Amino acid sequence: MFSEAFMQTDLYSWVVLPVLIFLCRMCDVTLATLRNIFLSRGVRKIIPIIGFVEVLIWLLAVSSIIKNLHNIMCYIAFAGGYSMGILVGIGIEKRLALGTQIIRVITSRQSEKLLQALRAQNLGVTEIDAMGSQGPVKILLIVAKRKNIATILEIVNEHHGSSFFTIEDVRSVEQGIFPIKAGEGKIQYLRRIFPTFKPGR
């Protein structure tokens, strides 16, 4: 990619090479962060591929460091790429919004309007009577896709802005009621009529 003459210059040694190491390390750690997040979310099929690419990039970065042990900029680039990779990996995972979460809403107010608003979004809501430190309360349990959490919180704040709520990750779910994506309703209907129906056939 680079000529032998250019690789002997100070520009390559102190600028280009550290930048390449920084980028390699950033990509390597980004993939490692995503791999760990996917593993915790139960997304396993893509993990071996991510691991292969991750280790390949890591070897490229480390081999460049070993060949230039005298160059302190390579060390700085390696460490900087590690930090940046963590930030980039977390940012990508946040945008992907993978997984399922459970929201517990605890309120001392009447919850009928909130229940109707949540169920209007085709969300499964379980209502439990409980006793709080200041009297009777209602506990609403909502299991939803992580990408829908912001919408649910908007509904909760709109109807019960002062309610106490907690959010936790859910390892796995079976059955349940979730918002239907565009086109999914027809597919589910066809599957009920024709059990062997699969999209695209």
- For the cut 50, the answer to whether the pLDDT of residue 192 exceeds it is no
Q: Residue 91 has what pLDDT?
A: 92
Give the tens place of pLDDT for each residue, 132-172. Answer: 888 888 899 998 888 888 889 999 888 887 788 899 887 76
Contact between residue 77 and residue 142 where contact means Cβ atoms under 8 Å apart: no
Please, is 158 exposed, middle or buried when counting C-beta atoms within 10 Å of its C-beta (0-12, 13-18, 19+)? exposed
Tell me what the mean pLDDT of segment 95-114 comes to: 85
CATH classification number, 100-193, choose in 3.30.499.10, 1.10.10.60, 3.30.70.120, 3.40.1410.10: 3.30.70.120
Higher pLDDT, 7 or 52: 52
- The domain ranges of the chain are 4-96, 100-193
Averaged confidence pLDDT in the chain: 83
pLDDT category, 30, cuts 50, 70, 90? very high
- Helix, coil or strand: residue 138: strand
Cα 160 from Cα 144, distance rounded (Å): 19
Looking at the whole model, is its pTM more than 0.85?
no
For residue 33, give the nearest of 87, 77, 70 by alpha carbon.
Answer: 87
